[in-house]
Structures are given as structure tokens and as C-alpha cells.
Chains A and B, each alone.
Chain A
Amino acid sequence: MPSTSMETEQSPIIRLRKITRRFPGVTAVAEVDLDIYPGEVHVVAGENGAGKSTLMRILYQVERPDAGQIYLNGEPLSFHGPHYARALGVAMVHQEFALAPHLSVAENLFLGREPLRFGFIRRRRELAEARRLLEQVGLDLDPRRLVASLSVAEQQLVEIARAISFNARVLILDEPTATLTEQEIARLFEVIRQLTAQGVAVLYISHRLDEIFQIADRVTVMRDGRVVATLPLAELSEQKLVQLMVGRAITNLYPRPETHPGPVLLRVEGLSRRGLLHDCSFEVHAGEILGLAGLIGAGRSELARAVCGADPIDSGRILLDGHELHIRRPADAIRAGLAYVTEDRKREGLALDLGVDQNITLASLPARLGLLLLRRERSVALHACQRLNIRTPSVRRKVRLLSGGNQQKVVVARWLETQARVIFFDEPARGIDVGAKAEMFALIGRLASEGRAIVLISSYLPELLNMCDRIAVMREGRIVGTLSRGQFSEERIIALATGASEVTIP
């Protein structure tokens, strides 16, 4: 393992100075300084939304920084996009892979730069080169196989092989283990160590504590777009790392709603869906806000979707007011009084080409004998806009033209019209600006205080800690713990969600 003293011996291959990137309503990356040395595994850690991915996208020149300078081997870089970054030896493996599934491994490796002779692809040359590259990442498979037939881990190694085939000196891996098994992770780590032994600098984004302590040479912790600290691993303990990631005293960004939980309204018993959900049980009281915490992929959305009939379940019972519900499709859940405000409003929530009014009434069309009551629809929509403060010049405006926050409110308005008594909010604040966020959370609090049961899914812990009466933590499709308000701490939740031994904060 390279020693940390190389800082003094070697000059950094990459230097970031005062890098800043703003998005509407939020500064994703703020004045970040970062030095990356050849041959090190440099982990960038932080909570979801801390700015890790944005920073990496800036380095790979997908995202243009608003301010700041990147130096490669001491030379200032201009911005030309990912092609330029790759030509300079900076490669990135994204969370979602960019391979063409219907082409072979070899074809994918050389896509866009096939070895040619007289305009024909030199297939034998291509295959030989591909074998050499695969060997380099420790992947023993026939390069003629189609990418679609590979496992996720194999595809990832193919991606890495492609990245290093550009003679990458800096390799960026964005949460590479999200979908891998233990053995696959071990193999990936081996490949990473081989690469660093050859002098490649590996930038590794992660928020999994166990991994960080296995692979990192140095760790940079980001929070709210800023670098909090860069430390050699030797100077870090799990406890200290968690403290750095969490950092702030829990501030009151979110209005703590006045909730008065009543009797149990929704009870879910032993809900399972093969490969995704394992024996999930929880209950929500009327007037209560239950948080669902966990890492991305822990099964929170899957649980909400299963309860609300969007996905089939293999076993388990769902009871509302003590009566068992038989939910086979979303319509059944809606009729029973459940609602699911989806995470991805554009893909799953809104009919973007329809009007505000038509989106609001989509799940509760006022109709008599099949004929729409258009005047009634209009008044329902007007009142919903008024009540939720949806800002639109007209209720007939296409939803596509509204801001993210207003779009989100349109989705919520739709579910309020169905008289839902239990509402699942899946990342309700994602992609909306700060003002709209505060409004959204105030609204959620109001809905709970009116006696509805709320299940709030969020990857941003401060949201959950402030809003919720209780928090259930999920990991790998299971509910691994439920905390009541007195037991709330970010450290405890992160420990449950990552499976790290619990960190006790003095």
C-alpha cells in the first residue's frame, strides 16, 4: 500500500482549486480544493447530496464548473467535455453503465475506435486486444460474448477495462459496489489495487463505511458541497468518519410538524418480494409521520410500491384499520385510501402533455355515466391550486411548463383528491428548490396533523430527523430497525443502514 508520505515525494497528478458549481437554488459544489496523487485510492465520502458525484462529473468534464481551475500535472486544463478528459487520461465508470447490450464485449471495448484496415474492422486484432485488456482487469471470459449475457459485476469490469484502455492515469468510480455481491466486491478491489500499483490514481466515491476502510489510502469527506476534511485513512476511525460526514448540529431547516399520532391505521405484515423485499413488517398510526431511511437500493421505494399495488408481492398482509386489503393493482390501493407519490415525477408521476387540471383529477375523475363533469373538474383543480399554492397562470397549462416544485405539488394534489388516508412520499424534495422544499415539508406536516398517516422516504437524514415521529431503517430489502424520536441520531441510522457496528458518540 502506498504510504501517505508520497505527498511530499510526488507532485499531484490532479489538482482542483476553488471548484464551484451552482444549480438553481443550490450550490452543489462550493470552492473545493483537492489533490490527487498517482497510485493512490482516494475515496470521496459523504451523504447523498453532498456533491460527490457533481465534483466527479466536473473532473470528467461532463459538468462545467462555474468557477475554479483544474490542473493536470501542474498544467491548467480548459473545458472541452468528456472526450477531452479521456484523451488526457481521465476515465470514469458511471453508476449506470454505458455499454451496448447487443454488441459483444470486444465490440464494446473498441466502440468508436475499431482497428481498421482498408475500411474493414480487423476482427482478430480486436479480439486479441480485448483479451489482453480483460486479463488486465482479471476477467476470464470470451470477448465474443454479448454484453447482455454478462452479470452486472462483469459488465462493470468491462467498463473498467474500457476505461483503462484509454491509458487512463486517473480512474473515477462512482459508487461501483452498489449492485455487487461480496465476492464481486473483493475482486473489484483486487483490480483496483493492481491498477494503483501501476501508478493509476483511483477516485472512489462511496458512503459505505466498511468499504472505505478496506480500500482507501486517503479520504476526502464532503458535506453540503464543501470539502470538510482530507485525511489519510490511518488518521480516521469509523466514529470520526461518521462525525465528519454528519458534522453539523442538527439544525431546524425543516419545520417540526405538530403531530398527534392516534391509533394504528396501516399495518404491513411479512411483506416479501423475491430478491427485493424480505419479510418487511411495519405500522403507521393515524396522524403520524414514519420515516423510511436506508441507502439507495435498500428497498424503500420497492416497499412503498409493493404496498400501493404498483408491483406484485409474493407474500405478506396489508391491513388498514385492522381489515385486510387485497391489493393486486394500483386501483385497489387507491380505492382503499392509499397513495404513492412517486420518486420520479416525470417518469412515473405526471402526464406532462396534459394540463394541470387533468393531472390533478387523473386518479379521481369526476364523471357521471362515463361523462366527465368538466366544470366540476375545473373547480376541483382551482381549489387544489389555491390550497397547495400551485403557481400556474392557468389550470389548463401543460404540466411540462411548470417548475419542479409546482409539478410535485400537482402530484400531491392528485392524491389528496382521492381522499387518501395513508400517503407514501418517495423523496418528495428531490429536484426542487429550497423554498419549494420548505413548502413541501410544511404541507406534509399539515397532512399528518389532519389525521393522515404519512410514510416519508428520504435519503437526506436531516429531513427525516426533523419530520418524523419514528424512523424505520432498511438494508438489503429488510427493515433492520425502527427508532422512536427519543432514539434518533444520524450515527445510529447510518450504522443501521450501512451495517457498520454501531458508533457511540460521547
Chain B
Amino acid sequence: MPPATDLGWWGVVIAVLGGAARVSTPYLFVSLGETLTEKSGRVNLGLEGTLVMGAMSAYAVAYLSGSPWLGVLVAGAAGAAFGLLHGGVSTLPRVNDIAVGIALFLLGTGLAFYLGKPFIEPVAPRLPHVALGAWSASPQIRAALEVNALFVVGAVLAPLLLWGLGHTRWGLVVRTAGDNADAAKALGYSVGAVRTLSTMAGGFLAGVGGSFLSLYYPGTWNEGLSSGQGLMAIALVIFARWNPIHCFWVSLLFGGATALGPALQSVGIASNYYLYGAAPYVLTLILLIASSSPRHALAGAPSELTISK
């Protein structure tokens, strides 16, 4: 075993992995939420707004109450409320769910900036982390393996969601609503209600993802906190083929890609800073182009989905 102070390339790898776990959490929560929503046959493009709203409300509540976990809960509730709004409006006849998503993207960010103005200055308590590296004597390993508690929750949630969608009654109802609305109706379920509930649950998760941004990493609230993570997570669901486990791996990939930029900067490669900043968007676009097809519906796509038609 190499000495603790000299991990060599392993140190870089561990730093990127730790960074990936850190940065990927919002991607993970938003993509899991969107997967659930899209499985029911709706697209909620407004999760970017939900993410910002979640970040703001979590920060405000954590600051006012002193409890970061209460902040997480309220962020989820705010996300669910936005999901209810999206689901309710989209259930009306002749209303396009994608357009509603754009409207809620704008409303969510506007509302968060409006309500969050007084909370830019104060400092809120942060979420705790789990020291997965406690066994090691190496400070680098210990620092890299300080994993946020929410990441652990998300990592457990991904297989749980896969199992729930595949093996429970509720999962079957959601999938039926997403694959064949008429069949769901024939079974006696209200398609609108199932989709609205799925959108609410998806919004809850996206709100929790937002709380991570303000309460752990970067751990502050300001108006430039999220720069399209919510949007990239939605594109990521298409690449992950609506599979929660794939969402987990792809989120890690994105987290790693985003963590590589700051890592390069820390070893002195600081030029073209903004160009590296564009990398995640370009990567998303390339993946989106690669996973699209002009001829047939995408494998694994819920057939009622407007986005894949």
C-alpha cells in the first residue's frame, strides 16, 4: 500500500469519484422524479424551476428553523405543489403538458428569486454527510468519501423505484397510464389523477434535489445557483431509457464530467474556464442526438409520451 500522503493517480480517481457523488445528487433526484412522471405519460419540463424553488425554500426554512432536514421536507412539499399545478393544468383538455412545463420553469425561477431575495445574505445550517472513508488513515480518501446523506438516499431510491414500477400494483397502474390511457380507463382508473399524482411525486423528488444545491453543495442560496441542471436531468432520462438504475449511473457520469472541470482548475489549468463550463450542456446535447431516432419510437419509452412521438 502506498504511503497516505502519496496516492498518485488513485488520488485523482478517488477525487473524481467523490466529486461525482457530490455533484450528481441533484441530477439523480430530478431524473428519478422525471422518470416516474414520464412513466405515467406526462412530461414535466418545469423541473428546472422546481429545482430552484426547492433550493430556495429549503434554504429559507433551514435558516428560519435551524433544521436542514425540515428544509429538505419543505423543498419536497414545494416541488409537489408545483407538480400538482402542472398535473392539474395539464389534465384540462387541449392543454399541452410541455408548454405548461415551460410556463412553470419560468414561474418557478421567478417565484424563487422573488421569495428568496431576503435569504441571499444569511447563512443556513448545512446537511450532514456520511463518512464512508472513516476506515482510512489517508486524509484525501477521507475527504473524497465524505458522501452526503441525500446521495445515499438517492442511491437507495433508484433500485426501489425500479422495483416499485415493475412489481407493485401502483407501478403497474402508472405504467398502464403511460403506455395505454384507454386500458387504464378500462381498469377503472382516472388517467388524469394517476398522472397528476406521478407528477407530484416527481416534483417532490426534484424539490429535494434542489435542497441539496442550497444546503450541501455549493451550499448557499443565490440566483445563479442552478444553471440548467434540472433541464439536463430531463434530457438524461431519455438517454437512460426511463430506467431508474440507468439514471443513477448516468447521473454519476454527469457528476464526474462536471467535477473534472474544477479539478483541472485546481491543478492550474484555469484558462478557458467558461468553455469547460459549456461541456455538460454539449455532452447532454451529444447524448440526446445519439439516443434519438427519426424513424421509430425509442426503446423503453412510454408510448403515451408526447416527447418521444
Query: Does chain A bind chain B?
Result: no
Residues on B close to A: CB < 8 A? none
